[in-house]
Amino acid sequence: MGVVQLAARLFAMLVTLFGVSLLVFLMMQAIPGDPVDAMLGEQASGADRTALRAALGLDASLPEQLRRYYGGLLVGDWGLSLQTQEPILGTLAARAPGTLLLAGNALVFALLLALPLGIWSALRPGRVPDHFAGLVALIGGAVPGFILGPVLIVVFAVWLGWAPVGGADSHGSVVLPALTLAIGMAAILSRQLRAALLEVLAEPFMRAARARGLGFAAALWRHGLRNAAIPVLTVLGMQLGALLGGAVITETVFAWPGLGTLTVEAIERRDYPLLQGCVLVISAAYVVVNRLTDLLTAWCDPRIDWSR
């Protein structure tokens, strides 16, 4: 991929982020309810309401609010939380490491589950291992997180006592929420890997590699997995983008201090500026991760046409 194509991709990412930020701003404007009511209550006097509205900049016109919004984004001033009066950017920065830690562990667990399951299934198509792997993937993908999470808590935290019930007070606290996210992701990745490997194993270049004296394991490692990784990486990028955005349900079930729980707290408190920051970070993370997935996919297969 040349410099021009890379610059074009980066420019497209910036345009997408601009569109996302504009959409987030307009969505916050369309949300019913008044932040002033959330802060002062509906019984506050008209003078107090007017003063607070002016202090928050809500009395300005929509174009002026939009100008201030982008001006603040560019200089790192995302405003203050309505409830805590703390800088929103600082609050997001404090919660982001928790989500990054959770997403990273979930990704590792998902790969540890999906890779052997998908390869094992692809090497035994139509046999007992393939059916067993398909059943495991079907169950893992069908059970939602708000059911799987409490089940894992009951089994591993309450009955066995192997992990904490929730929170982030110990190193083992991340295991159950990460496993909850990883099981559903592993189910999707394993079936995608199986389908991609079955297609690659039937290609002429695999037979040619074997004809040149390359062992099956070596041919699978050097040629099969790299070519089969392309569609898997695409799906993985979408899943990881969602995780980095904050797994709201899982973080809430396990009381994990990340962006997901912060988003729920902002909704419950009607803290619209903080909610706006959360949604913007979640959307930006999804966009960035998917663009990075494009770069990684191009590295795996240089034949991909980046001009499209």
Q: What is the pLDDT, as a whole number, of residue 42?
A: 66
Q: Which residues of 191-204 are buried (b: 16+ CB within 10 A; e: fewer)?
A: bbbbbbbeebbeee
Q: Which residue type, as a one-letter code, is found at position 308? A: R
pLDDT tens digits along 226-240: 777 777 887 888 788
Tokens of 37: 């009511």
* Res 105: pLDDT: 92
pLDDT of 53: 75
Note the residue count of the chain.
308
Residue given tokens 């899982």 in the structure block: 250
- pLDDT tens, residue by residue, 146-178: 888 899 999 998 888 888 888 877 778 899 999
* Total-model pTM: 0.81
Residue 162 pairs in a beta bridge with: none
Express each pLDDT in 67-126 by its tens digit.
888 888 888 888 888 778 889 999 999 998 998 899 999 999 999 998 888 888 888 888
Interaxial angle between packed helices 145-152 and 175-201, expressed in degrees from 0 to 180 and rounded to the nearest 10: 120
Q: Which residue has the tokens 């699978």?
A: 220
Domains detected in the chain: 3-75 (no CATH), 88-300 (1.10.3720.10)
CA–CA gap between residue 304 and residue 265 (Å, rounded): 43
Q: What's the pLDDT band for 41 if we cut at 50, 70, 90? A: low
